[in-house]
Amino acid sequence: MARELITYTLDEVADILKLTKRTLYTYIKKGQLRAVKFGKYWRVTQEELESFLTRGVPRQTRREA
């Protein structure tokens, strides 16, 4: 039996995590959040979102001087 693949848009992820989309783009660019781009829209799987929440992000995510 095939497992259902649940995905979220960046708007949905931003609402869930209470972050801005800009912050999510930064996490994606740095490889801290895995996402896939379909056309012009980014998608994050539920599995990746749960993994992201479990491992967190390094403290030094602000602009490094």
Residue 60, pLDDT score: 62
Supply the pLDDT for residue 51.
94
Structure tokens at 47: 């599995």
Rounded average pLDDT over 35-60: 90
At 4, give phi and psi (nearest 5°).
Answer: -75, 130
* Entry pTM: 0.79
> Which pLDDT band holds residue 63 (cuts at 50, 70, 90)?
low
pLDDT at 20 over 60: yes
CATH number for the domain running over 7-55: 1.10.1660.10
Q: Which residue has the higher pLDDT, 33 or 60?
A: 33
H-type helices in the chain, by residue range? 10-17, 21-29, 46-55
